[in-house]
Amino acid sequence: MEESKRPLTAWYLVGVVAMLIVLQLLLTTQTPETLSYSDFKTLLQARKVNDLTIGDSTIEGTVDTAGIAKLLAPKTAAALEKATDEHGAHRFLTRRVEDPGLVAALDAAKVHYEGAADSHWTSTLFAWLIPGLLIAGLWTMMLRRTDAGPGSIAQIGHSHAKVFVQKETGVHFSDVEGIDEAKEELMEVVRFLKDPERYRRLGGHIPKGILIVGAPGTGKTLLAKAVAGEAGVPFLSISGSEFVEMFVGVGAARVRDLFQQAEKVAPCIIFVDELDALGKARGVAGYGGNEEREQTLNQLLVEMDGFDTNSGVMVMAATNRPEILDRALLRPGRFDRHVAIDRPDVRGREKILRLHARKLVLAADVDLAAVAAKTPGFAGADLANIVNEAALHAARADKKAVEMSDFDSAIDRVIIGLEKRNRVMNAKEKQTVAYHEAGHALVAESRPNADRVAKISIIPRGIGALGFTQQQPTEDRYLLRRSELLDRLDVLLGGRAAEEIVFGDVSTGAEDDLQKATDMARHMVTQYGMSERLGQATYEAPRHSAFLDSPAPPERFAYSEHTAQLIDEEIAQLLDEAHRRVATTLNERRAQLESLAQRLLRDEVVTRDALDELLTPPAPAPALRS
């Protein structure tokens, strides 16, 4: 409700501006023609002026315009003739010049004259006093609101102003396309919200918090709204970034408030957008506002621990940077369920385009599949943007329907914007990523102890990864043999090795792989006792290897300089040998590397089935098929 008061301030401003404009118009119509002092003197001597009002700095009066054309420049004369006031008199104004002979001249000309404090006191009044009064009035009004009214500054801590409550989001799962896996995961949440009683009876475990992870514009907010819409429950949302600029204590109060509101309208969904702004790991260097952020974060944790899932409140949050989140947020009972949204693949993009183009009148030549093919790496929001741009483009040309050419220029436009923000891969980069991922996958396929490849993709994911090869372990593992670790090392190095072999050059894209490989090699040497030269000893206490762990440095045991050198050498050797093995494998499978990379470039995603088909040589007996 408080929101509705806000626009009022805007209306006051509009009112003031309008009045000023009106005043200005009034004043300009009344303003007499300004004459130079010499012109005035000329007119005075010719006895053409009368009824003078002599102020401190100006002289005002009327002119008899008959015959002045001979006395003055034609332009000035014409202007004087036009400058009539409401009584039909031609008025003039002149700036006073130091002129001791003025009064004598006036007397000589026998004109009627009088003195005035300032001939323009009225305009001064209008120009200064009234706006001044208005501003003062506005100020008092604002102060009064600050003191008492809802939505005032003094009340921010208790205000609901920035908690957006939607009774009905009106968004449904049918409004979300191309991210089917995430959609399916959230169906269960909908079922719970629709019928919490049933779950309660069965004693089922309902997640308290769901973290939606995905690149900007992939539809995280949309999906959360769809969950609320499908379940028919209210949607309360706040954005993490809003807490950053607040006064200490205010953010925490607002979080408390949010949960109180939520409990009142439960079952409902609380949605925290940009959770990373709020939930950055505590202690991680930040600029300003740290204390406030931590207090707010702590309050969020307290609230999440405090409420019972059975109350029907479900907390959802979105982030595109899960890696920087405070671990405390991800513990059981908090955001313990993660839903990842990938950028859509070709088919997904086509569906999203179709969805958004539903309302447009499309010309027969429009091929949305072709548009989808031209927009790899685009998120849902980018595609919605393209449809909109295409419609605008067609409208500008006054077309009856949106044509393919409109889509083409829309794509160009949107790509330029995305390139500026560094969010789109060019063709060359895409190629590099394709060979890189193909390298990972082929090495994984050729190692008996490596996990099976489930899916390969060159659709950028998150901020860092430009593509990924997903492996699926066939069973849970608690122990790993040395041979298995070596195979994993190989898989990690496969990406870069492929780049080397194909392009004779390497890219920065392998940084993460190298980091992981080095870590693994170091673990093998210093913790698992898997190096012959160093023997059966550990040199470092294990560090927690859980995902999203805050990066605490491993605890180093005391060892000699010589041992330190040995460790380094052993790590280097492990990596070196792995690199050599991988290069051999990929050179042997060069043809497969080529075909897999080409397939990736075409389809962007290669599933297990497609991979099998690609890697098994064609059946040797076509004769059977006659």
Residues identified as active-site: 437
Shortest distance, position 29 Cβ to ligand ADP, whole Å: 51
Residue 219 touches which of Zn ion, ligand ADP, none (Cβ within 5-8 Å per kind): ligand ADP
C-beta of 177 vs 570, nearer to ligand ADP: 177
Strand, coil or helix: what is 471?
strand
Separation CA 231–CA 151 (nearest Å): 31
Shortest distance, position 318 Cβ to ligand ADP, whole Å: 6
- Do 167 and 237 touch, CB atoms closer than 8 A? no
Residue 381 touches which of Zn ion, ligand ADP, none (Cβ within 5-8 Å per kind): ligand ADP
Work out the burial of residue 246: count CB atoms within 10 Å of its CB; fewer than 13 is exposed, 13-18 middle, 19 or more buried. Answer: buried
Residue 495 touches which of ligand ADP, Zn ion, none (Cβ within 5-8 Å per kind): Zn ion
Taking Cα atoms as reference points, which of 340, 339, 369 lies closest to residue 352?
369
Pick from 52, 54, 102, 222 the residue near ligand ADP by CB under 6 A. Answer: 222
Pick from 131, 149, 216, 529 the residue near ligand ADP by CB under 6 A. Answer: 216
Residue 176 touches which of Zn ion, ligand ADP, none (Cβ within 5-8 Å per kind): ligand ADP
Question: How far is residue 126 from each of residues 21, 87, 92, 117, 133, measured CA to CA in Å?
Answer: 11, 22, 20, 17, 11
Pick from 41, 48, 220, 522 the residue near ligand ADP by CB under 6 A. Answer: 220
* Main-chain dihedrals φ then ψ at residue 13, nearest 5 degrees: -60, -45
Size of the site for Zn ion (CB under 5 A): 2
- Retrieve residue 146's tokens: 């600050």
C-beta of 51 vs 180, nearer to ligand ADP: 180
Residues 368-387 that bind ligand ADP (CB under 6 A): 380-381, 384
- Do 448 and 457 touch, CB atoms closer than 8 A? no
How many CB atoms neighbour CB 145 within 10 A?
18
Taking Cα atoms as reference points, which of 139, 249, 225 lies closest to residue 176?
225
Residue 255 touches which of ligand ADP, Zn ion, none (Cβ within 5-8 Å per kind): none
C-beta of 69 vs 381, nearer to ligand ADP: 381
Name 62's Cβ contacts closer than 8 Å, sequence gap at least 6. 49, 50, 51, 89, 90, 91, 92
C-beta of 213 vs 582, nearer to ligand ADP: 213
Name 498's Cβ contacts closer than 8 Å, sequence gap at least 6. 435, 436, 438, 439, 440, 442, 586, 593, 597
C-beta of 61 vs 495, nearer to Zn ion: 495
- Do 237 and 178 touch, CB atoms closer than 8 A? no
Q: For strand 452-457 and strand 605-607, is the pairing parallel, antiparallel, or unpaired?
A: antiparallel
Side-chain half-sphere CA neighbours of 81 within 13 A: 12
The reply to whether 179 sits near ligand ADP by the rule CB under 6 A is yes
- Do 380 and 178 touch, CB atoms closer than 8 A? yes
Separation CA 559–CA 228 (nearest Å): 58
Alpha helices, DSSP H, located in 125-249 = 130-147, 180-194, 196-202, 220-231
The reply to whether 460 sits near Zn ion by the rule CB under 5 A is no
Closest residue to ligand ADP, Cβ-based? 380
State the binding string over 564-583 for ligand ADP (x if CB under 6 A, else -): --------------------
Pick from 77, 102, 176, 339 the residue near ligand ADP by CB under 6 A. Answer: 176
The reply to whether 69 sits near ligand ADP by the rule CB under 6 A is no
State the binding string over 279-318 for ligand ADP (x if CB under 6 A, else -): ---------------------------------------x
C-beta of 52 vs 179, nearer to ligand ADP: 179
Separation CA 460–CA 435 (nearest Å): 14
The reply to whether 513 sits near Zn ion by the rule CB under 5 A is yes
Shortest distance, position 274 Cβ to ligand ADP, whole Å: 9
- Do 499 and 510 touch, CB atoms closer than 8 A? yes
The reply to whether 39 sits near Zn ion by the rule CB under 5 A is no
The reply to whether 355 sits near ligand ADP by the rule CB under 6 A is yes
Separation CA 452–CA 473 (nearest Å): 7
C-beta of 380 vs 509, nearer to ligand ADP: 380
* Main-chain dihedrals φ then ψ at residue 59, nearest 5 degrees: -125, 130
Shortest distance, position 472 Cβ to Zn ion, whole Å: 17
Size of the site for ligand ADP (CB under 6 A): 18
C-beta of 227 vs 510, nearer to Zn ion: 510
Shortest distance, position 513 Cβ to Zn ion, whole Å: 4
The reply to whether 403 sits near ligand ADP by the rule CB under 6 A is no
Residue 231 touches which of ligand ADP, Zn ion, none (Cβ within 5-8 Å per kind): none
C-beta of 52 vs 517, nearer to Zn ion: 517
Residue 179 touches which of Zn ion, ligand ADP, none (Cβ within 5-8 Å per kind): ligand ADP
Residues 471-500 that bind Zn ion (CB under 5 A): 495
**Contacting range for Zn ion; rule: CB under 5 A; set: 47-55, 367-375, 512-520, 563-571:** 512-520
- Do 185 and 211 touch, CB atoms closer than 8 A? no
Taking Cα atoms as reference points, which of 252, 249, 219 lies closest to residue 238?
252
Pick from 352, 517, 520, 574 the residue near ligand ADP by CB under 6 A. Answer: 352
- Retrieve residue 41's tokens: 């003197």
Taking Cα atoms as reference points, which of 116, 371, 153 lies closest to residue 246?
153
C-beta of 390 vs 510, nearer to Zn ion: 510
Separation CA 389–CA 402 (nearest Å): 10
Pick from 32, 217, 376, 495 the residue near ligand ADP by CB under 6 A. Answer: 217
Residue 318 touches which of Zn ion, ligand ADP, none (Cβ within 5-8 Å per kind): ligand ADP
Give the residues lining the site for ligand ADP (CB under 6 A): 176-179, 214, 216-222, 318, 352, 355, 380-381, 384
Give the residues lining the site for Zn ion (CB under 5 A): 495, 513
